[in-house]
Amino acid sequence: MNIHHSLDSIHHLQNAVVTSGTFDGVHIGHQKILNRLKEISFQSGGESVVLTFWPHPRLVVSDDSQDLQLLSTIDEKIELFDQLGIQHLVIIPFTRAFSELTSEEFIQQVLVKKIGTKKLVIGYDHRFGRNREGSFEFLKNNCAEYGFEVEEIPRQDIEDLAISSTRIRQALLSGQVGVAKGLLGRSYALSGTVVKGKQLGRTIGFPTANLHLHESYKLVPCNGVYVINAHYQGDVFPAMLNIGVRPTVDGTTRTIEAHLLDFDKEIYGEDLTLELLQYLRPEQKFGGLDALVNQIRIDQHNALSYFARFH
């Protein structure tokens, strides 16, 4: 896949079949659109092009950007587009100046002049340009003037997209990782760097890797204990995960701590990806460390039972 980190890095393509959007999560609804994009480009002998925007537009223009929780980082999206076989990914730096482009300027400067769009695949309610003034109807009525065709993604498919994005967030925030996996087409994952915590886990026989997320805007699922796969330096290790404030030891800061089963390396400063497989239980406050340790042993037994069944 050719990755273009700005409009200046892409040259006018001979037969570009284009779609655009933020594609947060690159979930199964998005994948349906991307597969249609690839199908059209193959049939026409063209090249598939995805336009996306970074930072996420809401991080730039919305007052509620601090509350934004995304399903995928830009690096995760790049990897997913590559896996899906997209030929060109154009990552447009989204700035306030860019947000002021009119729909006419966006069409002429981006779709026509920079990319050379021959066919645009777009949803019926997709809006673009300043104040979201551009629409499918506008494009359909004026596409001959611009020199490209427009294909509408059916209304039902677009509504399914919105439902999917909302349901994925709701599922993750209620511990339904299986539901989220079904909608994403893969397990939800968190990536970050292992940092030193209070190292309490060592003293009770369950050392943990304390994960500092690479991106603060990444959605963190609800507090609780999970069965996970931990990906480290190309290997996969069965593990457990606790997300929460550790109320038994009077914790106040939310942490993401993984206990890798049958693993004893020091990995501070190393990158780790945690793939959520099953939600075991909510976080709870125990009467003391002994009760906590007993529950962790039960959690470990349940995690090992999961891996015995499914791995």
253/54 Cα distance (integer angstroms): 29
Strands of 105-234 (E only): list them: 117-123, 149-153, 189-195, 209-213, 224-232
172/228 Cα distance (integer angstroms): 14
Q: Which of 89, 84, 85, 106 is nearest to 97 (CA)?
A: 106
Give the up-direction half-sphere exposure of residue 27: CA atoms within 13 A in the CB hemisphere.
26
Residue 162 pLDDT: 67
Q: What is the largest CA-CA distance in the chain?
A: 74
Residue 184 pLDDT: 94
Residue 280 pLDDT: 97
307/311 Cα distance (integer angstroms): 5
- The position carrying tokens 């002998």 is 45
Q: Which residues contact 163 (CB under 8 A, 6 or more apart)?
A: none
Could you report the average pLDDT of every consecutive run of 10 residues in the chain (311 residues)? 91 91 90 91 94 88 77 95 96 90 86 92 68 66 83 71 82 96 95 84 75 94 97 94 87 89 88 97 90 92 93 67
Residue 77 pLDDT: 96
Residue 203 has which token pair? 């003293």
Residue 59 pLDDT: 83
How many helical (H) and strand (E) elements, i.e. helices and strands, does the chain have? 10, 12
Q: Which domains does the chain have, with CATH numbers?
A: 2-170 (3.40.50.620), 187-310 (2.40.30.30)
Residue 161 pLDDT: 66
Residue 144 pLDDT: 81
Backbone φ and ψ for 297, nearest 5 degrees, come out as -65, -40
271/233 Cα distance (integer angstroms): 8
49/45 Cα distance (integer angstroms): 13
- The position carrying tokens 């400063």 is 269
Measure CA of the first residue to CA of the last residue in the chain; give whole Å. Answer: 32
- Angle between helix axes 155-172 and 177-184 (nearest 10 degrees) is 150
pTM for the model stands at: 0.90
CB contact at 8 A, 60 and 12: no
Residue 71 pLDDT: 95
Which run of H or of E encompasses 50? Answer: strand 47-54
